Amino acid sequence: MADLFVKQAKEYADARPSYPPQLFQFIASKTPSHNLVWDVGTGSGQAAKSLAAIYQNVIATDASAKQLEFAPKIPNVRYQHTPSTMSMAELEKLVASEGSVDLVTIAQSLHWFDLATFYQQVKWLLKKPNGVIAAWCYYLPRVCNEVDTVLDEFYSSEVGPYWDPARKLVDKLYGSIDFPFEAVEGADHTGPFEFVTETLMDLDDFLTYIKSWSAYQTAKEKGVELLAENVVQKFKLAWGEDGKKVTRFPIYLRMGKVGNA
């Protein structure tokens, strides 16, 4: 998985959206203590930055050393390059000890994981019974009817063959992803809970976001330029003369507590 994002690490850092304060406030309201977070698949630190404002310490890990180079340096965030798969001994050495973590977060990357192994590690690390796991994804951005129409057609017809099969879990908004955890206090299910994040983008920003997709890199390695001149022209016509536009990314959160598992 990490290899899919190496060559476009800068595009990923520049173009991927940050997440809304409401998302982190909701998650924090469900974690009884705010001492230690493990942010898994942190990429270039989009979630770690916000978590650091709420929790005393954040351990932010990623299997891509290149992406970590673009993460913001924050005093209470420890960035750690890890192997794609870790033994329990490596987990304790590189991340934390058994039963010491209040919250595990996974932003836009849970679909890449070996879930059975990962969940075993999460249950080992989290404080029982109320340690929380929160995993979210975001789907295609919404700009305006004209741009959305071009993007949806491009996504389904041009990009589709180059997505990894794991992408299907995002297409289903994490609703079908295996998630063997208990509902947190005050909830009767584990999600998806819906949020939205907004950012201002001009057309160049928007195209850079597309270039940060793993499918874009996969196509490029096969000699296919997905953003060919005719495609870019379609986006230009749809975008119009406005310059920057409000771009909304819908977010879908799965959240649960570990219980006594």
pLDDT for 17 equals 75
In a domain, 38, yes or no: yes
pLDDT for 44 equals 87
**What band does 14 get if pLDDT is binned at 50, 70 and 90?**
low
Residue 203 near residue 239, CB atoms below 8 Å: yes
Place of tokens 């079908």: 176
pLDDT for 13 equals 47
pLDDT for 3 equals 47
pLDDT for 15 equals 54
Nearest to 206 by CA among 227, 229, 230: 227
In a domain, 146, yes or no: no
In a domain, 217, yes or no: no
The domain spanning residue 108 has which CATH number? 3.40.50.150
Q: Is the pLDDT of residue 4 over 60?
A: no
> What is the number of domains present in the chain?
1
How far is it between the farthest Cα atoms of the chain?
57
> Considering the entire predicted model, what is its pTM?
0.91
Q: Per the structure block, which two tokens stand in for 142?
A: 């919404």
**What band does 6 get if pLDDT is binned at 50, 70 and 90?**
very low
pLDDT above 90: percentage of residues in the chain: 87
Please provide the DSSP assignment of 165-195 as one string.
TTHHHHHTTTTTS----BPPTT-SS--PEEE
Query: Residue 29's domain spans which residues?
Result: 1-141+165-198+248-257
Q: Is the pLDDT of residue 11 over 80?
A: no
Q: Specify the pairing of strand 36-40 against strand 103-107.
A: parallel
In a domain, 224, yes or no: no
**What band does 118 get if pLDDT is binned at 50, 70 and 90?**
very high
In a domain, 227, yes or no: no
* Alpha-carbon span 192 to 237, nearest angstrom: 35
* Alpha-carbon span 213 to 227, nearest angstrom: 12
pLDDT higher at 9 or 256: 256
In a domain, 208, yes or no: no
In a domain, 35, yes or no: yes
Q: Per the structure block, which two tokens stand in for 102?
A: 């209040």
